Structure 1
Amino acid sequence: MRNARKFQLIGASVAALVLGGAAQAQDAQQAEGAASGGLEEIVVTAQKRSENLQKTPAAVTAFTGNSLVQSGTTDLRAVQNIVPAARFQQEGATTQVILRGVGSNLDFGNVEPTVAFNVNGIFTPREGTSQPLFDLDRIEVLPGPQGTLYGRNALGGTINISFKRPTHDLETSGVLEGGNYDLMHATVVQNVPLGEGVAARAAIDFTKRDGYMESGAYSKDDIAARLGLLFDRTEGFTAYLWGQYTKRDGSPSNLVNKGFDPNTGQFSENAFLRGDPWDDLRVGAFAAPGALPFGQPIKEKQKYNLYNFGAQFDLEVADGLTLTYVPGYFRLDSNSSYWLGVIPDFKEDNYRLITQELRLSGKSDRFDWLAGIYAYTQKTYGYSFVGKAAGPFGFIASGVLHHRVKGIAAFGQGTYKISDMFRVTVGGRASYDKRKANGISPDVGNPLYDFEKSFKRFDYKVGVEYDVAPTAMVYLTYQTAYQPGTFNEVPSTPLKSNLISSPKLSSFTGGLKTRFLDNTLQINVEGFYYKYNDLLLQAYDASKPYNEIFNARAETYGVQIDTVFQPTPDDRFSASLGYLHARTKSYKVPGLTAFENLSLPYAADWTINVAYHHDFHLSNGYIRPAVDARYESSYFADFVHTPGTRQKPTWRENASLTYFADSNKWSAGLWIKNITNKAVIAATAAAGIPGPATAYLEEPRTYGARVTFNF
């Protein structure tokens, strides 16, 4: 009977795959005490309600906070190692977030992210993506448009970060790490019950590390502190308030020269000037006065002070009816100096953001729904200066003196159960956004510019899902999304406006989520097609004062296959295979025909993620060796495919060996990342001396030891 049931489920899964395609989901942690030895159930809030990940008709990659600790993930940049078809890479004080080939690849004040980063349900601007990740409940990554529920800046997807909330237990926990480059990292958490229905949770995270670069640049000296309060004394009412302060005092990474072979004196796409790619100093002919207009690159400084506060109030107004209010405040003051090869650069960013969301949700036997209102006001200013005022080549690269964006939106989504197996989802969002700005143009003569424009948009979603078997679901979704338009940093003229039109997206997604073989094997597949109109693209050339933003039409389609196999409680294997075809089709501005049908920035055609661990049991605990690897095919860092901005195909591997006590009170282990010490580019720009490009680099080989405790 058991074998017959297995074959029925396999047959149903194959039939579903033929009918529709599939959905992607992945979990990074084996649940403690899984009685059956099978895969655990994962609860996510991707649709702003708690539900089983395998029953969520959307592509969701979810990771628990404990799994992130054991994988050594302490910031968003490290998350890319475990998320398929994604790049989360450094760009100074920010993190470029790119999902399925779509994301903002510049960090100037007039360019907003196209992937939303939310902390406890509150939108966080781009520079907030570099805050440390600690004491987390989970991370959820949703690729593709999320315009109905998440609105602006969710054109390419959404990343949701959730902190651990206070509990009514007395708990002390933490993480201690040490490693090469004199790494010292510690997280300490104290949870305290304060009486009936009241609890507090305090956490502090500290990281100090020497620089990865020869000059001493690319170092860390960061500290973050968080306090959370929970009130649930009154039945049917819960209040969660939290605040966090982050201070970063390390040295920013310098960019290194790429694309010039010092041995031949000729262009070579994959060449760096030094045998150690992270060596940012110049020697020999490259140390001649003409090659060092400002002297040798040095270890520069940064200032980064982030304050973010938020809350969530939930009131059960009737049986199955809940009112939720989520206010948030974000303030950032950041500036840093760094080197574009041998040219110094300075950048400053300042943010003030207030957000508010009020929503009402209902749940019955056949109908789940929510409706809400969202409003925000964001004020920013900042600038970027290349070179030095007293030397050659000095110019303003961006000069936003005042930039205010405000908006309001009404949204709703409902899922109706037509039968026990068939469900229909319909949603919509009406948005109004207004942008006003002025500044100093980086164009010749540095004239002043101003901009003011309002934008309106209605996005919608229609989806169906069908359970073809108890553990197999297929779905098909059509969804739209948009982002408010922006401006080029030049004055408008009668012949050419500085307006950049609003990017818009229409998308089809078909998916399958399934488990079989007695809940030990999960195979999820997703096929998708995205059509972008007026997508924002900009190629940064460090030698040019002004780099124009262009609107383009683009097309993206692909497929992703994710598997998790747990044949025994002690063995777990996961693998993801992704194919992505992300290409520009045409440009709104004439003269760019030569760049049509080229891949989008940082959009590798193929990605592979694999991981395996096995538990060896001892008398009082178990030892877990774990390995994982990620492959990316080649990609370019800009849409014009500038020489020197291409990353060659690369495998990167990580490993760890950890002892876990059966009491779950502590663990200790060793870890190593980027075992083969591969140099992989992050944010990359044209120009440089000698050029043709300069590039940030991801981290080199690192290793160390980790101890966790929980009492």
Structure 2
Amino acid sequence: MSHAYSPRLPHKTFALSALCLALTTNAQAAPQAIEEMVVTADFRATELTQLAASATVINADAINERSAQHLAEILNTAPNVNFSAGASRGRFFQIRGIGERSQFVEPVNPSVGLLVDGIDLTGLGGAATTLDISQIEILRGPQGTVYGANALAGLINMVSAAPSDEFSGEATATVGNYNSYNTALTLSGPMTDTLGWRLALEQNTSDGYQENAYLNTDDNANIDEQTARGKLRWQPADKITLDVTGLYVNVDNGYDGFSLDNTRSTLSDNPGHDRIETLTGSARLQLELSDSINFVGLVSHAQSDTEYGYDEDWAYPDLCQDFNCVVEGEQQYGYNSTDNYLRDIDNTTVDLRLVSSTQAGELGWVAGVYYRDQNEALIREQTYLEGTFTSHFDAESSAVYGQLDIPLADTLTLVTGLRYEERTASYHDSDSASFEPSDDMLGGKIALEYQASDSTLLYTLVSRGYKAGGFNSNNSIAVENREYQPEFLWNYEAGAKFNALNNTLNTNLALFYQDRDDVQTKQSLVTPLAGDSCPCDFPDYTTNATAGSAYGLEAEINWQANDSLVLFTSLGLLRSEFDEFASYAHAKADEDTGTPYDLSGHDLPHAPRYQFTVGGEYFFTEQLFARVEVEGKDSFYFSSRHEAQSDAYELVNARLGYTTRRWEVALWGRNLTDEDTLVRGFGSFGNDPRKAYATEPYTQYGEPRVYGVSAKVQF
């Protein structure tokens, strides 16, 4: 459901409690209808209320109202969507409890796709800045027909604004606590009668939310991000449109997220970093071949250099000298280590399709081919490694796909889709590990759409998604655990979308059940760095659980109560579990099995049982407005290999502003009650010599209370 934040351009949803409050307000003039959102991530641009799938659209007003500079700062407004950090930003995403949480040595097969203007940035969530983004589309459930292996759990599609017909511009500036500054400039207009252009630039800096007691600094987790985006739209004729997009993102953030004392104050002598330099481009051609057939071609390339490093011991060398690390009469000794990962990633995609121009009640079809070439070179620099570890990974994917929309009656349509994908890969590294996996995968969907009225859509959906298998390169992993198989997901869904009260009340509802086969999940071993006792290394490995399942509900409601008041809510309910899975987490590397831990019935990681957002925006006058919202999330497990959990929380966000046609100034705050939120955690990990490296939970904190003032001028 689209998110309604203001009467100017509604874009969010409202809760039943807020509805009761609104019913007590005095009636005013009949409110304007809510503007319909259009989802572009499907084969055809489709109004959200006509899309037979569970989806959320977050538009530019919603991003602005949150003062969100990054995708992770707005993502929680969508039900059953979560993210994990372990970096300076939310880097990995989960939909309905499915998604990755980290990456170290091995290449990752993502479960949640990330597209930015058609450019595949999956796995590079740190680059998902929101400069000039017109809307964020979140499709829940497998997108096995449209996107294939990168969208087992769903897809996040970020779409930037298009060039304007007349010259226009916008300048924004934000100042906030933690020495935070953001400036942005957007210019757009026609170059000729057939060629339009758009350019957006942004600088975003902050000291961050961590302190380092050893170095006596408060900017060890600083934010330093630059984004530049350019677009050209060429329309030499009514039947031809060519869109060319270029994106440059330079992220040079600090990373010092974990503390031995589980606080926001660290003791590291070598604070880490989280760097991304991404240069991308795409070209999309839409050509009307005839009155009934359109050609759509998309070519994109992304070249990304990333560097992710951290202080592995989270301390300084003389820690035990200063703290006298004696445990039960035995002297403990610290260690000193850093770990650094440099990746050079190239990703090229080609997607060509024919799409019928279909009127209501007519047979519709899509036929297409897809190709993806991915190259990833890694250099790992770790203090305890002898020499430098290097690896190289190449993967090629090719697919054919098609969809038929078959009218069964004036109001009933059967939609069938199918995608066949082949993936071949090769991997080799400096430890003499070598793999050449190859997978054939099949996905698709069958949906029944019933248009009960012009304002009501009912649908049922069965869809199948997949992601490729892979391998574990670490030589300490047992031979039988070195390779793992593809994962498949069956999604069963029923939903209803309807408008009421002259299109001032929008409601989206979806019920789903998901059945997973050969669930890919991470485990880890304990490898002593020297001798038979810790300090230890914890090599990750991925394996297949037998199965997993999840079921739940997603609801979003959006009400333009009157010309001055908008109320909104979103709710996600989720129950998930592993089936018949025994974990061998933290078995010693020199043992064959370790002690199994039965995870059958265990919730999936990063899968809170509920999420919600509730709030409203009120205009006291035509210019003066206030907005308040509360977002909440249940506790969730951090991993599939231990019992550590986050805490449930509720956050209060608010904005008070004054707006005119040309300018706006606003005071804003997120997490106003300064609740502690956790975005990454380890449950059975020992890293503190003061405690004889006893295993205990360690967590990374999310955003504390942040506030500031923003100004915007349009010209």
CA distance in 2, matches of 1:376, 1:167: 32
Deviates more, 1:96-105 or 1:493-502: 493-502
Match of 1:695 among 695, 699, 703: 699
Shift of 1:131: 3.4
Q: What residue is the counterpart of 1:279 in the other structure?
A: 265
Match of 1:530 among 487, 504, 514: 514
Q: What residue is the counterpart of 2:416 in the other structure?
A: 426
Letter in 2 for 1:46: A
Q: What residue is the counterpart of 2:426 in the other structure?
A: 436
CA distance in 1, matches of 2:639, 2:711: 41
Matched, 1:26 2:2: yes
Shift of 1:219: 0.8
Q: What residue is the counterpart of 2:573 in the other structure?
A: 579
CA distance in 2, matches of 1:147, 1:400: 33
Q: Report if aligned partners of 1:77, 1:89 keep a CA contact under 8 Å in 2.
A: no
Shift of 1:385: 5.2
Matched, 1:595 2:599: yes
Matched, 1:510 2:494: yes
Letter in 2 for 1:508: Y
Shift of 1:190: 1.1
Q: Report if aligned partners of 1:477, 1:508 keep a CA contact under 8 Å in 2.
A: yes
Shift of 1:318: 0.6
Q: Report if aligned partners of 2:178, 2:206 keep a CA contact under 8 Å in 1.
A: yes
Letter in 1 for 2:419: R
Q: Deviations over 1:214-262 (max 9, x none)?
A: 12222111111122111112221111111111112231242234xxxxx
CA distance in 2, matches of 1:518, 1:494: 63
CA distance in 2, matches of 1:455, 1:707: 52
Q: What residue is the counterpart of 2:39 in the other structure?
A: 44
Alignment partner of 1:256: what SS?
A: coil
Match of 2:48 among 53, 61, 77: 53
Q: Report if aligned partners of 2:257, 2:700 keep a CA contact under 8 Å in 1.
A: yes
CA pair 41-363 structure 1, distance change in 2 beyond 3 A: same
CA distance in 2, matches of 1:81, 1:315: 37
CA distance in 2, matches of 1:547, 1:476: 39
CA distance in 2, matches of 1:65, 1:540: 41
Match of 1:359 among 340, 353, 360: 353
Shift of 1:576: 1.9
Shift of 1:42: 1.4
CA distance in 1, matches of 2:525, 2:668: 38
CA distance in 2, matches of 1:170, 1:335: 39
Shift of 1:541: 7.2
Q: Report if aligned partners of 2:231, 2:245 keep a CA contact under 8 Å in 1.
A: yes
CA distance in 2, matches of 1:224, 1:33: 26
Q: What residue is the counterpart of 1:112 in the other structure?
A: 109
Q: What residue is the counterpart of 1:472 in the other structure?
A: 456
Q: Report if aligned partners of 2:637, 2:645 keep a CA contact under 8 Å in 1.
A: yes
Shift of 1:399: 5.1
Matched, 1:709 2:705: no
Q: What residue is the counterpart of 2:135 in the other structure?
A: 138
Q: Deviations over 1:125-166 (max 9, x none)?
A: 312543311101211001111111111110010000111121
Q: What residue is the counterpart of 2:532 in the other structure?
A: none
Matched, 1:236 2:235: no
Q: Deviations over 1:497-524 (max 9, x none)?
A: 6221001111101111122233232232
Report matched runs for 1:655-674 at 5 Å: 655-661=654-660, 663=661, 665-674=662-671
Matched, 1:415 2:383: no
Shift of 1:63: 1.4
Q: Report if aligned partners of 1:116, 1:154 keep a CA contact under 8 Å in 2.
A: yes
CA pair 541-454 structure 1, distance change in 2 beyond 3 A: closer
The TM-score with structure 2 as length reference comes to 0.85
Alignment partner of 1:496: what SS?
A: helix
Alignment partner of 1:246: what SS?
A: strand
Alignment partner of 1:647: what SS?
A: coil
CA pair 494-666 structure 1, distance change in 2 beyond 3 A: closer
Alignment partner of 1:81: what SS?
A: helix
Letter in 2 for 1:530: Q
CA distance in 2, matches of 1:160, 1:190: 23
Report matched runs for 1:191-590 at 5 Å: 191-215=188-212, 216-257=219-260, 273=261, 277-281=263-267, 296-340=268-312, 341-342=314-315, 344-365=338-359, 366-384=362-380, 388-389=383-384, 401-440=391-430, 447-490=431-474, 496=480, 498-539=482-523, 543-552=536-545, 553-587=547-581
CA pair 479-560 structure 1, distance change in 2 beyond 3 A: same
Letter in 2 for 1:534: D
Shift of 1:302: 4.6
Deviates more, 1:368-377 or 1:583-592: 583-592
CA pair 611-95 structure 1, distance change in 2 beyond 3 A: same
Letter in 2 for 1:77: A
Match of 1:149 among 146, 151, 176: 146
Report matched runs for 1:160-199 at 5 Å: 160-199=157-196
Letter in 2 for 1:578: G
Letter in 1 for 2:71: L
CA pair 347-685 structure 1, distance change in 2 beyond 3 A: farther
CA distance in 1, matches of 2:134, 2:459: 28
Shift of 1:297: 4.2
Shift of 1:123: 2.0
Alignment partner of 1:147: what SS?
A: coil
Letter in 2 for 1:139: I
CA distance in 1, matches of 2:37, 2:438: 41
Q: What residue is the counterpart of 1:7 in the other structure?
A: none
CA distance in 2, matches of 1:312, 1:33: 28
Q: Deviations over 1:466-517 (max 9, x none)?
A: 1233322211011101111110114599962622100111110111112223
Q: Report if aligned partners of 2:657, 2:667 keep a CA contact under 8 Å in 1.
A: yes
CA distance in 2, matches of 1:57, 1:379: 35
Q: Deviations over 1:401-442 (max 9, x none)?
A: 0111101001111222322311110000010001111125xx
Shift of 1:359: 0.8
Alignment partner of 2:75: what SS?
A: helix
Q: Deviations over 1:614-645 (max 9, x none)?
A: 1111xxx4212111121111111001334xx3
Shift of 1:75: 0.8
Matched, 1:77 2:72: yes
Q: Deviations over 1:303-324 (max 9, x none)?
A: 4211111111111111132111
CA pair 206-430 structure 1, distance change in 2 beyond 3 A: same
CA pair 647-453 structure 1, distance change in 2 beyond 3 A: same
Q: What residue is the counterpart of 1:265 in the other structure?
A: none
Percent identity reads: 22
Alignment partner of 1:249: what SS?
A: strand
CA distance in 2, matches of 1:506, 1:459: 9
Aligned length: 637
CA pair 45-173 structure 1, distance change in 2 beyond 3 A: same
CA distance in 1, matches of 2:478, 2:40: 48
CA distance in 2, matches of 1:496, 1:541: 15
CA pair 514-493 structure 1, distance change in 2 beyond 3 A: closer
Shift of 1:100: 0.9
Q: Report if aligned partners of 1:99, 1:156 keep a CA contact under 8 Å in 2.
A: yes
CA distance in 2, matches of 1:596, 1:50: 41
Q: Report if aligned partners of 2:77, 2:612 keep a CA contact under 8 Å in 1.
A: no
CA pair 588-375 structure 1, distance change in 2 beyond 3 A: farther
